[in-house]
Structure 1
Amino acid sequence: MTTQGNDRYRPPLAKLPSWIRPGTLDTYLLGQTIPPFVIAVSVVLIALLLERLLVLLNVLASEASPFFTLLRLLADLMPHYLGLAMPAALCVSVFTVIRRMSEGDEIDALMSSGVSLARICRPFALTGAAIGLLSILLYGYIQPHARYQFREGFYFASHAGWAPVLQSGMFASPSPRLMLTADHVSHAGSQLKGVFIRDLGEGKERDITAQTGSLRTDAAKGEVQIELFNGSILTIRPGVQPTVTTFDHAQRLISRTNKATFRNRGDDERELTSRELARKIDAVRHAAKAEKGDTSQDTDTDLMPAPEASTSNDIPLTNMRAELNFRLARSLSIPFIPVLATALAVIGKRRRGSAGLAVAVLLLVTYDHILQLGESLIASGKSSPLLVIWLPTVVFCTACTLLLLFRASILPIRRSRPALPPTGAAGNVVEGAR
């Protein structure tokens, strides 16, 4: 006979350690944080993409590129801007939730019941840690591939030459000696009616008319061809009587783009994944040791540099070190952003407003610029990563933690002064009461 306790259902999350298992308070706080986080990410992404959208529209419109190319380029930009939007949205959402709870005396009620501010911040810190792990994948693997795809797509879009995008009644010039128009255009510019073409090439003039036609594009060959049906060709040569030729079906090459293939990925350190950067750095170091004769291994095996380091366009070692350290420092700093937002969002009982959010944004922007400056100094070979990347990172993370502990009264920095004895009339009243 089994007892009732053995048949009791245990949720899957109950098997997790107590310090990571979400409780009622954690669920409530995360539920309050998700909506503003999603809204903040969306707003920041839209703002950043709109700024780049205007630039892309000017370039692609001049090249008559299709709308699908614009959407593809914007999709390639998403990982880069998502890496900027997530930390900012995390800070804003956590600050909004804690400030609303502080103004509604929810923070005071929780702290009066024995829940510290550090305990309130725990689900936010764990969320920041999860976003930090995601950012390692985003910064180190997704962004390099997306950056290369964006550059490749932008190169082909801006060097595509004439694109077969026509409108009814408008003239198009695929080349200086060729002009064509159509009375009616349908199916995204591919089906034509009432076609007229003037060709001034080969020292003669040819005026071609056709009842219908269709444009066909061969992306592999970079060619644009037009098929004409039921038309005529008027050929005019200098000193020769013009001739007219009729046809039922004719095919003509409109334009040909001699475009070379885009370069391979890896000419820029920002196009390399974190693993590729680490391998290249290790390969360059082994090659440097081999040149100095510091290694005693077999020359044919251990002293041979890695294939990634033997390319014709080698990236400087300082640039690769700067990029790798910059990525890791940004990812490891994200879990401390909600800690900073929580500490700055709590306000006193009699204070209904402060510049906490402005201070948080200012600190984050300053910290990010310091990391960028450190990356530049490392790339130029003027400083060490420990001094200009990891020292600011340790200072930032430590300052965020100490500020939260101070606001939670776990680490009091200022000692409370004892109350002074009453003086004057108030003192006489107290003495009389004694």
Structure 2
Amino acid sequence: MYRIHRYVFRQVIIPLLVTLGIAALLLLLERMLRIFDFVINEGGPFSVVWRMLGSLLPHYLGLALPIGFFLGIQLGFRKLSQSSELDAIQSSGIGLHRLLPPLLGLALVLSCASILLTGFLQPYSRYAYQTLAFDVQSGTLGASIKAGTFNKLGSGLTLRIDGSEQGGDIMNGIFIERIASTGRVTAVTARTGQFHTTGDLGHLVLRLEDGILVDLDQRETNPRVLTFRSHDFIISLPHAEQFRERGADQTLEMTLPELYTSYQAGGPHANAAKAAFHARIVRALMLLAIPFFGIPLGVVAKRTTGSTGMFFGILLMLVLHKVLEFGEIYAAMGRGSVYAFLWLPLAIFAISSLRLFYISDSKVGGSPLQWLENIWTAILDLASRLRRKEPRTAV
């Protein structure tokens, strides 16, 4: 049995890891486009995109874990069934229930991983993502200077460049306009320029080369004009705002112990904290029922090429995900109990999964989705007959 358990584990773990990686990668790629658009529009540095994507990885792993686990079991047992290896195992007196220990052990490990992801890693990674987004919007991470456009750098300061070189370190064709609160206007043009930091974190020095400075004071008749070979233009940086603390009115950014303490203490956010706490526990326990759900849908008849079990399972997993999602929202709004909106769907899923597993394990040739396969086959046969009866048009 030990060798059989190891073999079954290998057949399941490989598609599980592949599916989990592909699902997380697809979700990240979909979000990457929006992050690129956000960072470019806000003028943030390109490197922050990868940091924001890394902060989203625990969130997408938590989403992909149930569906990845189901597909790993379903594909593994489908392969065993179609290659007649499952028949050989069962003919030696080993039923499906005796193949459960490695899958239940894997389910327990993944359930603990889900608690770690949703209960502890995701709150901190969400907060890190929101912090990075705030820093990009506020300019704390630094803003890129776009060539050919007028860039606002603080109050009353406008900068335009024709282009840049050496990775953006040296700017060419510079125009600067500063309008003071007193109405005094300073305009500068220069051939090249380069930013330099100082000991004062509140200011930057823009060292300009080969340019002209025009200073116009409304109290004077004529402006002052200065031609220079090198000139240091001081730019005051805006005061960086502080981002809010983690978990401030955000249950998604609270860990499991913090959620439990919050809803036990009561207050205006007690319902939301209670719903989030129970939802994370329910999603972790749901993984323990997936082996009983995935095995029956993976066992198929010989020479069967249909994927009815896979499509039905994925559809049901998505429906359950949405039911739990809406249940958490309604429970957070105080419109019902968490036991009715969260624990009841989990109980129905677990009981249904046990029933499907019982049919496959205890009944000879038992196929829990035979009725669905018969309906699908009848539809395909009807479509084939209608296609054959279509009259041929003369050419």
TM-score range normalised by the length of the shorter chain: 0.7 to 0.9
Q: After the TM superposition, which of the residue ranges 197-206 and 379-388 deviates more from structure 2?
A: 197-206
CA distance in 2, matches of 1:276, 1:357: 38
Partner Cα separation in structure 2 for residue 328 and residue 218 of structure 1: 51
SS of corresponding position for 2:153: strand
Unaligned 5+ segments in structure 2 are 368-395
Runs (4 or more) in structure 1 with deviation over 6 Å come to: 217-220, 410-414
Residues 1:271 and 2:224 aligned together: no
Q: 1:217 to 1:371 in 2, by over 3 A?
A: farther
- Larger Rg, first or second structure (1 or 2): 1
> RMSD in angstroms over aligned alpha carbons?
3.1
* Cα shift at 1:83: 0.2
SS of equivalent residue, structure 2 residue 226:
strand
More helix by share: 2
Match of 1:99, SS state, is: helix
Shift of 1:367: 1.7
Equivalent residue pairs, number = 364
Q: Is the 8 A contact 1:63 1:157 kept in 2?
A: yes
Cα distance change, pair 61–223 in 1 and its aligned pair in 2 (3 A)? farther
Residue 257 (structure 1) aligned with residue 210 (structure 2): no
> Against the structure 1 CA distance between its residues 255 and 248, is the aligned structure 2 distance closer, same or farther, given a 3 Å change threshold?
same
Q: Percent identity?
A: 29
Structure 2 residue 24 is the aligned partner of structure 1 residue 45: yes
Please, which of 372, 379, 383 is the counterpart of residue 332 of structure 2? 379
Q: Aligned letter for 2:246?
A: R
Q: CA deviation at 1:222?
A: 6.3
Partner SS state of residue 362, structure 2? coil
Query: Match of 1:281?
Result: 263
Q: Distance in 2 between matches of 1:54 and 1:93?
A: 29
Match of 1:68 among 47, 64, 76: 47
In the TM superposition, what is the alpha-carbon distance from 1:188 to its structure 2 partner? 3.6
**Is 1:228 matched with 2:208?**
yes
Gaps of 5+ in 1: 1-21, 285-313, 415-434
| Cα separation, 2, equivalents of 1:162 and 1:95 | 46
Range with bigger deviation, 38-47 or 328-337: 38-47
The TM-score normalised by the length of structure 1 is: 0.74
Displacement after TM superposition at 1:27 (Å): 2.3
- Contact 2:154–2:237 (8 Å) recurs in 1: no
- Identify if the C-alpha distance between structure 1 residues 122 and 219 changes in structure 2 by more than 3 Å, giving closer, same or farther: farther
Residue equivalent to 1:94: 73
What is the CA–CA distance in structure 2 between the aligned matches of 1:328 and 1:222, rounded to whole Å? 47
Q: Distance in 1 between matches of 2:340 and 2:217?
A: 77
Q: 1:152 to 1:89 in 2, by over 3 A?
A: same
Deviation string 1:113-144 (CA, Å, 9 cap, x unpaired) is: 12211222332222121111111011111111
Q: Distance in 1 between matches of 2:291 and 2:199?
A: 49
Measured after TM superposition, the shift of residue 217 of structure 1 is: 6.3
Contact 1:326 1:371 in 2 (8 A): yes
Q: Does 1:206 align with 2:186?
A: yes
Are 2:264 and 2:270, in contact at CA under 8 Å, matched by a contact in 1? no
1:3-18 aligned at under 5 Å gives the runs none
Deviations 1:240-291 (A, max 9, x none): 334333556543343532342111112211211001111223333xxxxxxx
Tell me, yes or no, if structure 1 residue 147 matches structure 2 residue 126. Answer: yes
Contact persistence 2:154–2:238 (CA under 8 A): no
Please tell me whether the aligned partners of residues 129 and 335 of structure 1 are also in contact (alpha carbons under 8 angstroms).
yes
The answer on 1:78 being equivalent to 2:57 is yes
What is the distance in 2 between the residues matched to 1:370 and 1:162? 40
Q: Cα 1:169–1:283, aligned 2, differ >3 Å: closer, same or farther?
A: closer
- Identify the residue that residue 387 of structure 2 maps to in structure 1: none
Aligned mates of 2:42, 2:264 — CA distance in 1: 43
Partners in 1 of 2:287 and 2:345 — Cα distance? 14
Conservation of the 8 A alpha-carbon contact between 2:97 and 2:361: yes
With structure 2 as the length reference, what TM-score do the two structures score?
0.81
Pairwise CA distance, 1:323: 0.7
Aligned to 1:331: 284
Q: 2:319 is matched with which residue: 342, 360, 366? A: 366
Q: How far apart are the structure 2 equivalents of 1:105 and 1:411?
A: 16
What's the counterpart of residue 243 of structure 1?
A: 224
Decide whether the 8 Å contact of 1:64 with 1:162 is kept in 2.
Answer: no
Q: Which moved more, 1:82-91 or 1:224-233?
A: 224-233
- Alpha carbons 1:59, 1:158 under 8 Å: kept: no
